[in-house]
Every structure is written in C-alpha cells, then in structure tokens.
A and B are shown apart, each in its own frame.
Chain A
C-alpha cells in the first residue's frame, strides 16, 4: 500500500536512466462498481504538463518511478470524461462520506496493487495523514496516532469541475441514501456547492431532498436555485410542500417561479398559499384520488394502476357521486379483498368526519388521534372535496425540528 502523498514529487526515471521530471499528479479512471484505476502519471516538463500512460511504468514506489521506455508521453494532457486527477480534484478537497453521511476533507489517498495495476481503495481523513504530509512522521507520538480510512466505494466527490461520469456516480451513490440523509449532507456543504448539487439531481430526487432540508438552510438554498429549475422541482412536489416553498421565497423570486410553473399548478398553489399554515387549508394537499360510486372494484383498481404515478402515497381513494359530493372512502386493502364485480358504493365506508378549510391544526390532531385516522378530507359547503390533510403534515407542524 502506498499513500498518494508519498508519490508526489518523486523523480520519474526513464529506460535510459535519465530523470524526466517529478510526479505532479496521477490520472485515474473511474469504473462502475470498481476502485478507480491508475491510468497514468503527470509530470511537469518545462512549462507544460506531460502524461505518461500506466503501461510504460515499470515500478511505482515511494522513492522513484521507473519507466520501461523513453519519450513516450503526450504533452498537454486533458483528462477525458471518466477520468480525474488525484491532486487537482481529490486531495485536500471535500468529499461526501456516504456511509458516515457527512462531508469531510481528503488528507491523503490510499493506493493498493490490484491485478496488474494500482487502484485507489480509500481516503485517509485522519490528522495522522496531515502530520505525515508535513514531514512529522519521525516524531515519537506519530505512531500512536490513528488513521481513519473511508472506503472509496463509500465516497463521492463534491467538486463540480470533475467530469460528468463522476457526477453520475455521485448521484448513484447519493440516491441510495434516504432523502433525509442527502439533505443532511447538503446542509454541511457550502451554498454554491449545495445549490449545484440540488440542481443536478433529477426533479423527483430534488423534490424529495428539498422536502427534507432543515428550514433555516432551505430558505437560503431556495433563493439560490435558479427559477427555472425550482419551478420544475416544484411541479414534482406534493402540493402542500410546494405551497410551503412558495411561502418561503422572496417576493421577487416567487414571481419568477410563478411565471415558469404550469398554469394548473400555479393556480392551485396560488389559491392554497393564501391560507395560513396552521389551518386545514394551509396544511392540505391536493394529492388525493377520487372515484365514482358506480364503478366496480375491478374498474377502480384499473384506474388506480393507471394513475398511481401521480401520487407519492396512496392508502385511500375517495368516493364521489355525479355532483362530486363526497360520499365515502375505501381503502386499498378493502379493494384488494373485495371480489372484482362488487360495486364500490357497497364496499366503501361512509365518511363521517370531514374538515373545513378553517379547521385549526390542533383540532385536526385531536380528531385524527381520537378516530385513529391517517388522513382526513377537507370539504366545502357543498360537500365537495378540496384536499386532504395527512397525519404526517400534522406531525411536522407539531414537531417542526425533526
């Protein structure tokens, strides 16, 4: 095992025993699911940087690098999309520790011989690495210090300048995490970095992650995301969250975002954003599904299958008549257990408790607790359903810091 810092500035000696220069950087190639492989080394040749491919390297050690050839380097090497440079892009930069869910600084890199080459297997984030690089490794307490390694598989780069493939693997790694964990990582980044990262996510992920970012960071973050991207993300958000976002934006930004939203979404949001946070109107989401009472169970299930993409979660569907009056509710479980030919109106349970726009959050919480409800419908005077309030919206209001 070699540390990258031990290779920096070692002399590179060619087959004629001449020193061609000193190592400046190492080019590695990222591979899906594998440790990045050393692809070649870069040294300073007069004024410009030159590249030596790995196949010409005979030995790679702490003292020197020897080559099996002379004159085999390309000047002015530009790394390709799936390559990155250890010194330029990784060493001393910040990276995501996907397992520890934090942002840390790379103090050194671990290279290990695998098959016929060297690969980066981990990064050293310990203070011991700092001491080693500063030349204090002969001090007596150095050996008592502990190294802290993070496996490369649990690492992804923060820096935006790295090629697009690297950004893709960053996304893959981050997307395996729960959105709340990604939100935690984002909170420990600097503003330009977190903004860039959120904007680079696909809109679904971005919407989920933004929903989890703590309020004090969210406000600043939202102001920084460009209006176009924000509008796209908001189209993905559940209505109630989108309304919250809208309320947090500055007036100027809100107008910019509104211009870019779809007309239907904009209208809904505009109406909902008029309600206060602590009443049913402000808490409710328009993400609910209604079906007609005369449908059969079979037809209803077919409809749900077709439409389910539009809902983040779906536990109940609401049953309405021709005038769209709310009649009852039927759970997905009931539908599953019913025979296909049965009529919906025979299987639904009658809705007894409904909310009005101005029902207070405290009252909603009491009703939900008392009757063991996961969600409640908000209806207007004509008993037409306007939205639903789910138990997690109430929880969030009661425990805002979670």
Chain B
C-alpha cells in the first residue's frame, strides 16, 4: 500500500496545476452573475452618472462594490449548501402565497428589464443605421438559439467571454485621458451634494446593481454548476472577483464620460447618446467601444434575465428544470422563449412609453427586494438548512446593515419617483 500511494501521489508541480484547474472549474458563476448586473440599464446609469456628476460619485460606487459582494455571497452560499434555487427554498420554507407574490413581481419586473435590454440593442442599431425591425428579432433569435441549443458548458463559455468583453469600457476610460488625481480623490473622498438630482442618481446606482433577478440568478447558477461545498472558499473568491470586476467596469464608464461630457457640460439621458456624444472628444474608436460594449451588455442581460425568469417560475411551481436537461424540463425553455420573444414584439410597438415602464420596473424591484433579503437572511440563519455554513454574528451584522442600506435607498428612490421629487 505504501509504495502504491507513492506511485499515485502527484508531484509538487502537478499539485500546483491541479489547483489552477480547480479554480477554472469553480470560477464562473460569480463573474457572470456580477457582470450581468452591468446590463443595458446599468451602462445607461453609469454613463449618465459620469456625464452629470463627473467623478463625484465614484466613492459611492466603491461602497456598492462591497454591498454587491456581500449580497451575492449570501446567494452563492445558500445555493451551494442547499443545492436549491431561491424560489424553491422560499416555497419549501415559507408559504405558497409568499412564493407566488415573489414570483409574479419578479417575473413582471424582469419582463420590463428585458425591454430595457432591447432598448439598449435598439440604441446600438440606431448608431450603425441598422433598422430596429432587423436588429431586435436577430438579437432575440441569437440569444434563444445559444441558450436552447448550447450545452451548459457552451453557454457558460459564451457568458464568460462576454464578461471579458466589458474590457472595452476600460480602454475607453483610458482613451478619455482623465486626470487620475481627480479620479482618485473622487473615489476615496466622500462628497455629497444636497440636491434631489444627486440623491436620485446615487440611489439609481445602487438600484441598478443590486437587483432581485441578480439575487435569483447567482443562486440558481451555482446550483446548476454543481460545485462541491468543500470549494466554498474558492467560490467566495469567485463572487468577490465578480463584484469587483462589475464595478471596475462601471468605474471606467463613469471616468470616460466624466472626463469628457461632464467637463464640456453635455447632458445625456441614455447609453446610446453617450456613445455618440463621446465621438468628438475621444474619437471614433471610443464611440465604437461604447456601442459594442452596450450591445454586449444588452445581449448578456437579455439571456441572463430571461433565464432567471425561467428558473424562478419552474422552481416555485414544481416544474423544475436545469439548463442542461432539455428533454426533462420543457417548461424552462418555454418560459425562456416567452420572455425573449414577447418582449421583442413589445419593443417594436411604435411609440411604446419606455421610460414610465422602466420606472415601474424599478418600483417592482423595490417591493420584492426586502422580501427576498429577509427570506435569504432567515434561511442563512437556519441550522437545519445551513449546518456549519450558517451565518455567524459578524456576518449577520454586516448583512443586515448592507441589506438595510439597500432597502432604505430603494425606498427613497421609490418615494422620489412617486412624488416626482426634484423634477
């Protein structure tokens, strides 16, 4: 036995290689879920933030990074330990009525969110003079085809590649030649302007990053990936890396528009305008980087948000499905297809009042987030469910503080939207 063991014991170099292979096996969900938070709506918010406030809000982004990391880690841990999606856990541990409420609200909020992704695709189509009635169906078919035909591994590879394509924004950020001293100051020195606009934008920054669908997605994705609980530590780093990368990209979008549009006093209202407005300052290449970045973000968002809706509905009502179980879960693909195609049809309606719809979507998100976070924290504190991965007191304090912060901010945003505060 002794000699046998020696024969099969890997050498030191081998061990090192194994560790790297393991990292690649475990990494992915965190990065993808994180990056998907930078969807079309996110890119728009960051562009507008930079154009309206320069570097003044970078410190808020810095804070959001930690909150995102904390909330995503909770979802990932819940998924890893229980092997179940959030919707299934809510159904099993709370009431059917709560589940139905959460599912319907999330589904509607997601639906409108998908509209926003298509709006992003339309904006890019407009920049390049492609008719919308070609661009929208093409995007819908492409996304459906990739998720329907691709295996889990293929889909994951496409998602990961897409996550890396966000690098375009970092290049654009450098091309804008920002004053790095000012950027650093904006990142670490808190600055508050007591104006409604400042608060509105600050809250929108949080609202676009911490979302109900993001919470569902990260957990379900971890479940489907089937990572062993022993790899919790690595997964945690994956989540943290994802949160960091997400906001690193956001940082450079704000820097790019802050260094140019803000300086010149140009006001924009969406990401498409940002791309066009950047051209005179940093050249055609930067415009293309912004446009392609937006297209990439919209497509990734389109796939991820639609998949989340399918996860949530199937889990909650017992039509369970996994991404790689085509035959056994037709419901998953039916719901996925419905989300993709019904929104594509809706966005093509001429004169669709997109802005009120998106505001409504944000409000729904505000309603469902507290329910989700309270459920998540209750589940994380259950010994019978989590075992040794239960929340510790420190974790509870940190999570409650972050969750409370997010809920308060979402509440403020809701209040300001409803009362039309500052407009």
Q: Is the A/B pair a real complex?
A: yes
Which residues of A line the B interface, CB within 8 A?
92-94, 102-105, 107, 125, 127, 130, 133-134, 161, 188, 190-193, 216, 220, 223-224, 250-252, 254-255, 258-259, 263, 266-267, 270
Enumerate 26 A-B pairs (CB-CB under 8 Å) in ascending A order: A92-B91, A92-B96, A93-B92, A105-B320, A125-B318, A130-B96, A130-B317, A133-B96, A134-B96, A134-B97, A134-B100, A190-B83, A190-B84, A190-B223, A192-B82, A192-B83, A193-B83, A220-B226, A224-B228, A250-B18, A255-B8, A255-B10, A259-B5, A263-B1, A267-B4, A270-B4
Which residues of B line the A interface, CB within 8 A?
1, 4-5, 7-10, 14, 18, 22, 81-84, 91-92, 96-97, 100, 223, 226, 228-229, 317-318, 320, 324-325, 328, 384
Question: A255 to B317, Cβ gap below 8 A?
Answer: no
Chain A residue numbers with a CB within 8 Å of B4 are 258, 263, 266-267, 270
Known: A133-B96, A220-B226, A263-B1. A161 touches B384 (CB 8 A): yes
Cα of A258 to Cα of B97 in the assembled complex, Å: 50
Partner of B318, one of A104, A134, A258, A267: A104
Chain B residue numbers with a CB within 8 Å of A216 are 324
Chain A residue numbers with a CB within 8 Å of B91 are 92, 105
Chain B residue numbers with a CB within 8 Å of A266 are 1, 4
Known: A161-B384, A188-B320, A216-B324. A223 touches B5 (CB 8 A): no
B314 shortest CB reach to chain A, Å: 10
Cα of A248 to Cα of B269 in the assembled complex, Å: 54
Look across to chain A and name the residue whose beta carbon is closest to the beta carbon of B384.
Answer: A161
Question: B96 to A254, Cβ gap below 8 A?
Answer: no
A247 shortest CB reach to chain B, Å: 12
Known: A188-B328, A224-B228. A270 touches B8 (CB 8 A): yes
Known: A134-B100, A190-B84, A220-B226. A255 touches B320 (CB 8 A): no
Chain B residues touching A, majority SS: helix
Look across to chain B and name the residue whose beta carbon is closest to the beta carbon of A127.
Answer: B317
B403 shortest CB reach to chain A, Å: 25
Cα of A220 to Cα of B14 in the assembled complex, Å: 21
B75 shortest CB reach to chain A, Å: 16
Cα of A251 to Cα of B138 in the assembled complex, Å: 45
Chain B residue numbers with a CB within 8 Å of A254 are 8
- Most B CB contacts (10 A, CB to CB) among A102, A107, A223, A263 go to A223
Known: A223-B228, A255-B5, A255-B10. 16 other contacts (CB 8 A): A92-B92, A102-B328, A104-B318, A105-B320, A127-B317, A134-B100, A188-B320, A188-B328, A192-B229, A216-B324, A220-B226, A224-B228, A250-B18, A251-B10, A255-B8, A270-B4
Cα of A233 to Cα of B147 in the assembled complex, Å: 37
Chain A residue numbers with a CB within 8 Å of B22 are 250
Partner of B82, one of A130, A190, A223, A224: A190
Chain B residue numbers with a CB within 8 Å of A263 are 1, 4
A100 shortest CB reach to chain B, Å: 12
Look across to chain B and name the residue whose beta carbon is closest to the beta carbon of A223.
Answer: B228
Question: A258 to B5, Cβ gap below 8 A?
Answer: yes
Look across to chain A and name the residue whose beta carbon is closest to the beta carbon of B81.
Answer: A192
Cα of A367 to Cα of B292 in the assembled complex, Å: 58
A216 shortest CB reach to chain B, Å: 7
Known: A133-B96, A250-B18. A191 touches B8 (CB 8 A): no
Cα of A254 to Cα of B15 in the assembled complex, Å: 13
Look across to chain B and name the residue whose beta carbon is closest to the beta carbon of A130.
Answer: B317
Chain B residue numbers with a CB within 8 Å of A94 are 318, 320
Partner of A252, one of B18, B84, B229, B324: B18
B19 shortest CB reach to chain A, Å: 10
Chain A residue numbers with a CB within 8 Å of B384 are 161
Chain B residue numbers with a CB within 8 Å of A223 are 228
Cα of A41 to Cα of B67 in the assembled complex, Å: 44
Look across to chain A and name the residue whose beta carbon is closest to the beta carbon of B10.
Answer: A251
Cα of A125 to Cα of B319 in the assembled complex, Å: 10
Chain B residue numbers with a CB within 8 Å of A251 are 10, 14, 18
Question: A191 to B1, Cβ gap below 8 A?
Answer: no
Cα of A193 to Cα of B91 in the assembled complex, Å: 17
Cα of A216 to Cα of B5 in the assembled complex, Å: 28
Chain A residue numbers with a CB within 8 Å of B324 are 216
B199 shortest CB reach to chain A, Å: 39
